[in-house]
Amino acid sequence: MSQSNTNSSGPAAASAGVPLVDLRPQHWSLQSKIIVALREVFATSAFVLGPNVGAFETEMAAFLGVNHAIGVASGTDALTLSLMALGISPGDEVLVPSFTYTATAAGVCHMGATPVFVDSLPGGFNMDPADAERRITPRTRAIIPVHLYGEAVPMGDLLALAKAHNLRVVEDVAQAAGAKWQGKRLGSLGDTGCFSFYPTKNLAACGDAGMVAANDEGLARRIRLLRTQADASVLGGKKYYHPTVGFNSRLDEIQAAILRVKLPHLDAWNRARCSHAEAYREQFKDTGLVLPAASRDGSHVYCLYTIRGADRDALRAHLRRQGIGTDTYYPLPLHLQEAYAYLGYKPGDLPVCEQLAKEVLSIPIYPDLTPEQIAVVTGAILEFLGERDRLVIQETAS
């Protein structure tokens, strides 16, 4: 997710438009704690795999309810290391939704395996399990459910499908940190759960960072080995002896120190996102806009608030004129990207997500969004829809 829409003016900028995401309020409020944490990092100067990485791994494992959490350099690497540790190799096929960020499929390609793109569920954004099932072949080894925008994939159907066809499950939880499915944290349900702590995600570092969650001990050990050049010393062997070829992909100690300050706030931040989503829902009901699903017991954490049903490009231009940040996640599904042209997909092959790509528009959402900012955004959108009067009535009624 690009930060290009981040407004760079000061704290009083709310009246001058609304950025798509504003990372500053969170850092104003946590600044003194973060500085104390960073001073401790400099005091020990243990910059790689120091005490904060280990402590954050323990804290995240407890938060997620998993046996193991392994800090890595990015969400992309979390996916790649998961697939490698699961033994995905050339000739294997991996089911991947087409309507996602390119990183979801990249790791599959880096293993020399083939991504098999799956359409979205009509009426939603996430992968259609029935379409996934149709695309299973004798070569299919794994499936990567993506909890897009922060909304839980219905994991019951997906895990049943995986079990029936003996597929490994690698959850892409990059946009859904803290979200739950039937009381369990996302990322704890698959063979691995892959997190990104990119600055615009719900749990965000101040740079690139990621994590793999896993319950299986052997799998966790392989991921630990792979993130440090597969150095045998990681598993108690001799240093500079390498049983296989690995990566250099460790979670940075400075980022871990910052993430430890933030993790205790994640649930409250996600609740704030949910309440903003409810405020939008209240304003937009009966307007003809198609709104994101409601959050049931934490099933949606609104990393992004994505609407459709209006003339997207005209609405976007209207909002831009009023200084309101928006973005399109994503304008072209993966099966039609140049990067994957070698797979031979054609327009029309995955019609649901091709239509979504033409319609989706994400509007501002982040924990520190104020009621005034929500009123600015909803006012501008209702004005565009010719429904400005509704807003005024509701404002005076409240």
Ligand X SMILES: *Cc1c(COP(=O)(O)O)cnc(C)c1O
Least Cβ distance, residue 250 to ligand X (angstroms): 14
Least Cβ distance, residue 129 to ligand X (angstroms): 18
Instruction: Residue count of the chain, please give it.
Output: 398
Per CB under 6 A, which region of 72-80, 89-97, 233-241, 370-378 contacts ligand X? Answer: 72-80
Least Cβ distance, residue 173 to ligand X (angstroms): 8
Q: Which residue has the tokens 């045998």?
A: 232
The structure tokens listed for 263 are 């993790």
Closest CA relative to residue 211, chosen from 38, 66, 35: 66
Closest CA relative to residue 250, chosen from 200, 210, 191: 210
Do residues 365 and 281 lie in contact, with contact meaning Cβ atoms separated by under 8 Å? Answer: no
Site string for ligand X, 207-226 (x = CB under 6 A): -x-x----------------
Q: Does 76 bind ligand X (CB under 6 A)?
A: yes
Determine which residue in the list 5, 100, 283, 299 makes contact with ligand X, applying CB under 6 A: 100
Do residues 224 and 235 lie in contact, with contact meaning Cβ atoms separated by under 8 Å? Answer: yes
- Segment 299-358, which members bind ligand X (CB under 6 A)? none
Per CB under 6 A, which region of 17-25, 74-82, 136-144, 233-241 contacts ligand X? Answer: 74-82
Residue 17 or residue 333: which is nearer to ligand X going by CB? Answer: 333
- Segment 167-206, which members bind ligand X (CB under 6 A)? 172, 174-175, 196, 198
Q: Does 75 bind ligand X (CB under 6 A)?
A: yes
Determine which residue in the list 52, 82, 104, 188 makes contact with ligand X, applying CB under 6 A: 104
Per CB under 6 A, which region of 2-10, 96-104, 123-131, 248-256 contacts ligand X? Answer: 96-104
Residue 204 or residue 220: which is nearer to ligand X going by CB? Answer: 204
The structure tokens listed for 100 are 């996602």
Measured CA distances, 308 to 170, 283, 361, 390 (Å): 29, 15, 6, 20
Gap between the Cα atoms of 396 and 398, Å rounded:
6
Gap between the Cα atoms of 228 and 233, Å rounded:
10
Measured CA distances, 303 to 20, 185, 284 (Å): 11, 15, 19
Residue 98 or residue 196: which is nearer to ligand X going by CB? Answer: 196
Q: ω before 305 within 30° of 0 (cis)?
A: no
Q: Name the residues that contact ligand X, by CB under 6 A.
A: 74-76, 100-101, 103-104, 146, 172, 174-175, 196, 198, 208, 210
